[in-house]
Amino acid sequence: MSTPSERLASLIDELREVLEEERRTLLSGAPEAIGAITQRKMLIAELIDQATLVPGAKRPNPDLLQPLARYNQQNAVICAAMLRHLTAAIDRLRRQEPHRSYNPDGSEQYRASQHALGAA
């Protein structure tokens, strides 16, 4: 059985691995994988919080956590860039003329503006 400090150290190591995997996943652009790795990271963060509350657990050295925080912030920069690009793409699509479709008699049918992409 591991001590509370060993468990905390193990969780921090696991967090480091997840942050590295998160970077690779973000760069791959696969939405399902991004969601899954984010959930895993949040679970590990919660377990770390719980592990610090256990009596006898020594708090981790801030020098050990600082590179992880920096790595997490760099991942956040990637997410922000992805969001900017996706938002710009959606905005461009909104500015395009609505798709034309045709009725059985050959007349044009325009989509109603309330059904346009991104309309709320």
Q: Residues 39-95: pLDDT tens digits? A: 999 999 999 999 988 887 788 889 989 999 999 999 999 999 999 999 999 999 888
State what percent of residues in the chain have pLDDT above 90. Answer: 54
Are the C-beta atoms of residues 60 and 9 closer than 8 Å to each other? yes
Is the pTM higher than 0.75? no
Which two three-digit tokens encode residue 101? 């479709």
Q: How far apart are CA 83 and CA 72, in angstroms?
A: 16
Q: How far apart are CA 19 and CA 74, in angstroms?
A: 10
pLDDT at 102: 79
Which two three-digit tokens encode residue 108? 């044009």
Who contacts 3 (Cβ-Cβ below 8 Å, separation ≥6)? 56
Give the closest residue to 45 by CA, choosing from 24, 69, 28: 69
